[in-house]
């Protein structure tokens, strides 16, 4: 038993903080799931920036760009394709653990961090496009992100708050979550 398997046996959820087209094609992510008890995958724009800069995506970028998408739209097309494949790999874990593990993440554009309504719209649209129940959206923990997080969660979209959340923002999120739980019971 290796260290990550031992950690998993003790209840630790092990997440991979990386994704590339070549990792998916080579079966490397499945290998991490099988051999290292990896139970989830996180991504962010810098991870994809590094992956896209590797050259693995050159053909896909050319083909997609010829159809029209550019800039951020092109980025999200590539990211969603990879994350759909990853989500499918993690789905058995998600089902086996009743949603505790088996998640993959996609971050809404950091350019929207201070725009509540555009963050809400982007999160809902990305979740619908990805069409994977074990994908959650990462939303920045800014003051404008707080109402976006609440609205997106209320709409049924799974959310993770990204770094930058102050202790007061985390406290407000916690209170809001508890109030929402009380309302459900």
Active-site residue, selected from the candidate residues 50, 64, 124, 138: 138
What is the chain's percent helix, strand, coil content, to nearest 5? 60, 10, 30
Q: How many CB atoms lie within 10 A of CB 16?
A: 20
Residue 41: helix, strand or coil by DSSP?
A: strand
Measured CA to CA, the distance from residue 170 to residue 62 in angstroms comes to 42
Q: Is 64 a catalytic residue?
A: no
Residue 178 CB partners (closer than 8 Å, separation 6+)? none
Tokens of 95: 């089902």
Tell me which residues are annotated as active site.
138
């Amino acid at each position: 038993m290796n260290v990550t398997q031992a950690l998993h046996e003790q209840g630790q959820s092990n997440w991979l903080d990386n994704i590339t087209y070549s990792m998916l094609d080579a079966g490397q992510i499945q290998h991490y799931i099988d051999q290292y008890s990896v139970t989830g995958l996180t991504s962010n724009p810098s991870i994809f920036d590094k992956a896209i800069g590797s050259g693995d995506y050159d053909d896909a970028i050319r083909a997609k760009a010829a159809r029209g998408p550019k800039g951020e739209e092109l980025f999200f097309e590539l990211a969603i394709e990879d994350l759909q494949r990853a989500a499918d790999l993690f789905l058995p874990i998600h089902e086996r653990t009743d949603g505790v593990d088996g998640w993959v993440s996609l971050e809404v554009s950091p350019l929207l961090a201070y725009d509540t309504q555009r963050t809400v719209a982007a999160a809902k649209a990305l979740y619908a496009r990805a069409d994977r129940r074990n994908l959650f959206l990462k939303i920045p923990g800014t003051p404008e992100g707080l109402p976006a997080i609440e609205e997106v969660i209320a709409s049924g979209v799974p959310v993770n708050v990204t770094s930058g959340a102050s202790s007061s923002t985390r406290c407000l999120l916690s209170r809001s979550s508890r109030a929402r739980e009380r309302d459900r019971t």
